[in-house]
A and B are shown apart, each in its own frame.
Chain A
Amino acid sequence: MTKLLKIENLHARIKGGRDILNGISLDIGAGEVHAIMGPNGAGKSTLSCVLAAKPGYEVTAGRILYDGEDIADLPADERARRGIFLAFQYPVEIPGVNNTYFLRTSLNATRRQRGEPELDGVQFLKLVKQKLSLLDIKDDLLKRAVNVGFSGGEKKRNEIFQMAMLEPRLALLDETDSGLDIDALRAVSDGVNKLRADSRAIVMITHYQRLLDYIEPDFVHVLANGRIVASGDKSFARELEKTGYAHLEHAA
């Protein structure tokens, strides 16, 4: 069966700089939850930026196959409409753009791509209510401008809410646990767990073991110096907690 995401010998860099990713290979299947861990500067965020096609990054070698197709030439918005979702480490504040309006535009763009009819205002609000109750989020976030004046926890929750609305096939969670207190971490993790599905792959990129106590991965990978230096199942994460990354970095 074709893997949902197949990364082959990926080299990438910030335009004009030196390579940050030095040959990553990774297979991620639908229904799986992967954790990519590693020290600061290992290339974790670069990997998520490259997968989401953030401008300013370039692939210098290797391929990214999504559903069997090389997506090198697809811009960010096209990848998003095809089901790749990036939950930002630092969600961006957009003054003057109402959260509801933004989300409806986003959802309808995605639905058009899938060949589904656009949702009108009433249908959209019905779906919003359903997803809000699933994630136990209050609806006042929706009346405000996108992320403006949100606390750190609210921003991360809003990311997961967007994920629930857009129903991606591949969700990349970039340091979703950073800056969260224990209650917010629990709420966000509960949300992610509810969004686990056989048709969906979730990739958590994180510095800390802590997140994995709340969202249990099927596979754990260590990224160091731009390469995957070790992989294992969920017990591997606990092992890492004791041994740290340092000995693996040397192995790379």
Chain B
Amino acid sequence: MSTSVRATEPAWLSARRMAAQARFNAQGLPTPNDESWRFTTLRALTPPAALGAARITLNAPALPEGVRFTTLSSLLAQAPGHLAGLLTLPEAADGFAALNMALFQDGFVLEIPPGVHLTEPLEVIYDPTGGAVHTRGLVLLGEGASAILVEHAIGGGWSNHVTHIALAKGARLRHAKRQAQPAGSVHLSATTITLGEGADHESVILALGAAISREAVNAVLAGEQARFSLRGAYVLGASQEASFVPDLLHLAPNCTSRQLVKGVLGGQAHGVFLGHIGVPEGADGTDASQTNRNLLLTEGAHIDTRPRLEILADDVKCSHGATVGDLDDAALFYLQSRGIPPLAARHMLVEAFAAEILDEADLPAPLRAALHGTLSAKVEALS
């Protein structure tokens, strides 16, 4: 369990916090006029005045020398200068990111030296409690390094997570995230990922809990032959809301990206998908696809989906698409004609729809099975 970083923090950080706070004071929270927030219920996202406790737990097998996997608070205490170059606020950051920089209480750091391969998953558990919680994650993989990182968000309250992932040449990260926070909580997440030449990243994100959640994933494919994959699912009931906001920049030529985000919406739930792929001039040989598919189980559920491509290069292969539908009646009848009761048949089809993102995810079998279990339980709870 971590303590607040404030007590031991270096002067450079205090200065950055003050600058970030000043920026937030000037900028404020996003408004419906901000394109990437326009469909999100912003009035419900105002942070509580009091700060809560981050309560981050890390689980890992025995790690080889040189690998650093630690909470942010302990790293700042042990090596205060180490993160000076990395804990920064990007120019384009929005109000929530500025607030995170000003107020973050804790977080985690994963650093893997070049050439080191970790085959067992490393776990980060977020169990925030109390008032507003801001956490910060840093993942740095050296040249040719590889790892599997799993994030579990289970606590309640209001939390705002900012994570930066940097993959050097040929590095490979498999990242899974399970957001299963209790009803009534707020989960905001913004992840930036930079991929060097030949780097290979996949994120599998399940947004199942919280009253309102948002997953912003910002990836820059900066080196040639980099490969990025996002497989996401939101399964929501009651009056839950989840947004997926992936924004990809195919900066270098000959990179590949695949995105498949699937939504299951019951009750009065609201899903948002705002995807963007940018392919600037010169990024020839880009191969990108982005798909958002939705299953609406009730009249009251609704989805705002907008996949978007901006292509300025000539020689590219890009596709995008969105679908919204109901369960297939022919498939339902087929299952029932084999003796499967209607409710069980619906579960089977809904689960199969959402689990597609796991079926082909590149994850170790036990991890995939555990994620599948959480997904099934949520599908079951919808009806």
Contact = CB atoms under 8 A, between A and B. Distances in A.
A102 B348 contact: yes
Interface in B331-355: 331, 333-342, 344-345, 348-349, 351-353, 355
Interface in B304-352: 328-331, 333-342, 344-345, 348-349, 351-352
A95 B352 CA distance: 7
Given A91-B334, A92-B334, 4 more contacts: A77-B337, A80-B337, A94-B352, A109-B339
Interface of B: 328-331, 333-342, 344-345, 348-349, 351-353, 355-356, 359
A93 B288 CA distance: 28
Instruction: Please classify the interface of chain A as helix (H, G, I), strand (E, B), loop, or mixed, using the class held by over half of its residues.
Output: mixed
B333 to A, nearest CB: 6
A81 to B, nearest CB: 4
A86 B337 contact: yes
A153 B295 CA distance: 31
A76 B337 contact: yes
B352 A105 contact: no
Interface in A194-216: none
Nearest to A162: B338
A94 B339 contact: no
A99 to B, nearest CB: 11
A52 B339 CA distance: 11
20 contacts: A52-B337, A75-B342, A76-B333, A77-B337, A77-B340, A77-B341, A77-B345, A92-B330, A92-B333, A92-B334, A94-B328, A94-B352, A95-B352, A95-B356, A96-B351, A96-B356, A97-B348, A97-B352, A106-B335, A109-B340
A102 B359 contact: no
B333 A106 contact: no
B338 A80 contact: yes
A185 interface: no
A151 interface: no
Interface string A87-124: 01001111111000011011001100100000000000
A16 to B, nearest CB: 16
Interface of A: 52, 54-55, 75-77, 80-81, 85-86, 88, 91-97, 102-103, 105-106, 109-110, 113, 145-146, 162, 166
B352 A77 contact: no
Contacts of A52: 337
A146 to B, nearest CB: 8
B353 A110 contact: no
B368 to A, nearest CB: 14
Given A77-B342, A105-B340, A105-B348, A96 B355 contact: yes
A95 B359 CA distance: 11
Nearest to B338: A106
B349 A94 contact: yes
Contacts of A103: 338
A61 to B, nearest CB: 24
B274 to A, nearest CB: 26
A246 B249 CA distance: 68
A140 to B, nearest CB: 18
Contacts of A80: 336-339
Contacts of B330: 92
Contacts of A166: 338-339
Contacts of A145: 352
A110 B335 CA distance: 12
Contact of A55 (B333, B348, B355): B333
